[in-house]
Amino acid sequence: MRYFFVEEVTPENRSIFTLQQRAVWIGLALLLLSPTTLDYNWFTHNISPFGALIPILLTFGSFVAVWKAFRPDSPNKQVQSQPGRWQRFVLILILGLTIPGAILLGRGIALCFLAPQFSNDGTSLDTNAAILLLQGRNPYTDSSLMELARHFAIEPDWTTPLRQGQFANRLDYPNMADFRSVLDTALKAGQAPEFESKVSYPSLSFLTLVPFVMLGDYNVLPFYILSYVIIIAIAWKTSRPEIRPWVLVLSMANIPMWSSAVGGNLDIFYVLLLIVAWLLHEHRWRSAIFFGLALATKQIAWYFIPLYAILLYRKYGFKEVVYRLTIASSLGLVTNLPFILWNPQAWMAGILAPVADPMFPMGVGIINLSVAHLLPYFPETVYSSLEAIAMLAVFVWYWRVCRSCPESAMLLAVIPLFFAWRSLPSYFYCTAFPLFILLNARILPKEQYATSTASVLSGSLPNRENIGIATSIGV
């Protein structure tokens, strides 16, 4: 325990003990999220009818745990002299969770040397887009399920079904028998209107995979595993030595992000870019460039735009918001501009596919109550309205806490998706550990902060606060 909790709390190490206590809440969030990496529909179908509440409560509980991790302490709060029994128990559970984490790591390394097997169609579509691009074809017009089947093995449940064709006029998600029957028919007919075939992300999602295709290697899994390894390295670099045991344990016990990395989930890469953008938020160009790259990768990064603007406005004023967002949006536009000019309609159809195409409702948010038939299905506009209301509440919340807790954006930005028509569990996997990284980087020892400030003084903005990490991440 002495590696994870200080043996005696003194005025000198009080901040360290506080960080260690916050790490316990991050670990609890990972414990709650980990079961949702399994087939969360199992709860709905095997613990009827209230099994649908389990993934909802687990996800909501993780939100509460992450909130407890970044919530500022009350000035009158008395710090306990030793960790509580429940904190020690949570630590033991987290240590146990490193075992499946190590198994996932080993599995990921093994998959890197095998034929590509992507359990989500987003990665296979992006890889196929890189193949099409090197063939001189437009990925946004020529992408199709038939093209995908030429290069990759396709399992029915690795696809995204659409409520059209044979799946028209239904809301319940197809079962495996329906999936296999319709997919086999579609492959034989050469048309697959029942499945999403568009490249549905901005262009950086597949441009980063072009080097693999150029080398004749269609297995792009090493890129996503490397992205998570870089995130761990940043966490190590920006943490106090006393917190690094927590960094190692939490990074290995982070089953949600390991599942995303081993599954080739694009969220790992855009979150890496967002982490660096927030760490360097005191530096105009570097922060804006990384933020722009995140915007050019996946649409969920767009949810962070208002929070990024709020943080900049509250710290540096309106002009800085304009400068940063102009840089970031220009970079995102330049990255996608060739494809916009190539075929603007196809590019727009691909980018808007996640909200414009008739996808089935699913997820670990409130929609799961309707999927389990505990509540009726409401019109999509109802869920969109709830999402918009939650978004406004998040803006108000972040306006109040962004100066003291800028890292809270990692959680607040994705909370509205909990109320959406589709609230996939992967949307929430990359919240706890990235927030922990930013939290540790914000609370630096005085001597380290002085060195960090002196090293970047020439490129810093006025009115600096003890928030951020400056150049200590080596970027």
Q: 423: part of which helix (H) or strand (E)?
A: strand 422-423
**Could you tell me the pLDDT band of residue 81, with boundaries at 50, 70 and 90?**
low
| SS3 assignment, position 362 | strand
Q: At residue 400, does pLDDT exceed 50?
A: yes
> What pLDDT score does 312 carry?
96
Distance, CA of 59 to CA of 72 (rounded, Å): 22
Distance, CA of 63 to CA of 75 (rounded, Å): 24
* Length of the chain measured in residues: 475
Question: How confident is the model over 439-457, as a mean pLDDT?
Answer: 53
DSSP state letter for 422: E
Q: At residue 458, does pLDDT exceed 60?
A: no
Distance, CA of 29 to CA of 293 (rounded, Å): 28
Distance, CA of 301 to CA of 298 (rounded, Å): 6
Distance, CA of 142 to CA of 422 (rounded, Å): 26
**Could you tell me the pLDDT band of residue 474, with boundaries at 50, 70 and 90?**
very low
Cβ contact 356:336 at 8 Å: no
What's the one-letter identity of residue 50?
A: F
What is the token pair recorded at 317? Answer: 């004023």
What is the token pair recorded at 433? Answer: 């550990």
How distant, in Å, are the alpha carbons of 63, 281, 314, 396 from that of 400? 18, 18, 9, 7
Burial 19-47 (b: 16+ CB within 10 A, else e): bbbbbbbbbbbbbbbbbbbeebbebbeee
Interior CA angle at 293 toward 288 and 297, to 5°?
145
> What pLDDT score does 335 carry?
96
Phi, psi of 252 (to 5 degrees): -80, -35
**Could you tell me the pLDDT band of residue 180, with boundaries at 50, 70 and 90?**
confident
What is the token pair recorded at 456? Answer: 């970047």
Pick the residue with more confidence: 331 or 443? 331
Residue appearing with tokens 């048309």: 191
Q: At residue 465, does pLDDT exceed 50?
A: no
Interior CA angle at 186 toward 184 and 189, to 5°?
110
DSSP state letter for 153: -
Residue 198, sorted as left (phi over 0), alpha (psi -120 to 50) or beta, turns out to be beta
Q: At residue 258, does pLDDT exceed 90?
A: yes
Distance, CA of 433 to CA of 274 (rounded, Å): 13
Contact residues for 434 (Cβ-Cβ < 8 A; gap 6+):
231, 271, 274, 275, 410
Alpha-carbon dihedral angle through residues 403, 407, 408, 413, given to the nearest 10 degrees: 110
Q: At residue 462, does pLDDT exceed 60?
A: no
Contact residues for 318 (Cβ-Cβ < 8 A; gap 6+):
none
Q: What is the pLDDT of residues 127-160, one digit of tens each?
A: 999 999 999 999 999 998 877 877 777 777 778 8
**Could you tell me the pLDDT band of residue 266, with boundaries at 50, 70 and 90?**
very high
Pick the residue with more confidence: 366 or 186? 366
Q: What is the pLDDT of residues 61-72, one digit of tens each?
A: 999 999 999 987
Secondary structure tally for the chain: helices H, strands E: 24, 2
Contact residues for 222 (Cβ-Cβ < 8 A; gap 6+):
112
Q: What is the pLDDT of residues 38-56, one digit of tens each?
A: 876 666 666 666 778 899 9
Residue appearing with tokens 């000198």: 12
Burial 269-292 (b: 16+ CB within 10 A, else e): bbbbbbbbbbbbbbbbebbbbbbb
Question: What number of other Cβ atoms are within 10 A of residue 294's Cβ?
Answer: 29
Q: What is the pLDDT of residues 275-320, one digit of tens each?
A: 999 999 999 999 999 999 999 999 999 999 999 999 999 999 999 9
What is the token pair recorded at 189? Answer: 């007919």
Phi, psi of 445 (to 5 degrees): -60, 155
> What pLDDT score does 77 carry?
61
Q: What is the pLDDT of residues 88-101, one digit of tens each?
A: 999 999 999 999 99
> What pLDDT score does 157 carry?
76
Q: How many CA atoms lie within 13 A of 321 on its CB side?
A: 13
Nearest to 82 by CA among 1, 11, 12, 27: 1
Nearest to 224 by CA among 69, 120, 351, 374: 120
| SS3 assignment, position 442 | helix
Q: At residue 82, does pLDDT exceed 80?
A: no
Contact residues for 469 (Cβ-Cβ < 8 A; gap 6+):
238, 279, 280, 441, 442, 444, 452
Nearest to 257 by CA among 229, 233, 223: 229
